[in-house]
Amino acid sequence: MPNKLSPVNLTPSGMPMALRPHRIRGVIPGLFLARHAIGPDDAIAFLPRDAWEQAAFDRLRANGIVRETAPGRFYFDLDAHYAAIERRRRLAVPIAIIVSVLIAWIATRFFRG
């Protein structure tokens, strides 16, 4: 697996993934990014503070976005995070198109010209 800082792991903008600015929302991703835990070598010890944080953490782990390297040591996988965003986007775009066409069709049914 190439190092996250190596030029091999370039984004379409030509900048390495680890060096580009990230707009990632959420408390848990913010904690991992603030401590630069974005690769297996940078894994940090993490223990959720409450039930809400535990549920969010479990969802991130189930989606493969937060990965465990050793017992109790985790890192935030940026590639998996952006892949999950792209999967959601690929699902949302066709739904938005269908809903828009349906709204336009309904609007034309009520037009009396």
At residue 10, does pLDDT exceed 90? no
Residue 54 CB partners (closer than 8 Å, separation 6+): 48
- Which residue in the block uniquely carries the two structure tokens 């040591």? 73
pLDDT at 5: 47
Residue 57 or residue 21, greater confidence: 57
Q: Which segments of 47-77 does DSSP mark as H helices, in order?
A: 51-62
pLDDT digits (tens, 9 = 90+) for 59-95: 999 999 999 999 999 999 998 998 998 999 999 999 9
The phi and psi torsions of 89 (rounded to 5 degrees) equal -65, -40
At residue 21, does pLDDT exceed 70? no
Local confidence band at 52 (pLDDT 50, 70, 90 cut-offs): very high
pLDDT at 17: 54
This prediction's pTM: 0.65
pLDDT digits (tens, 9 = 90+) for 22-44: 667 788 888 898 898 888 999 99
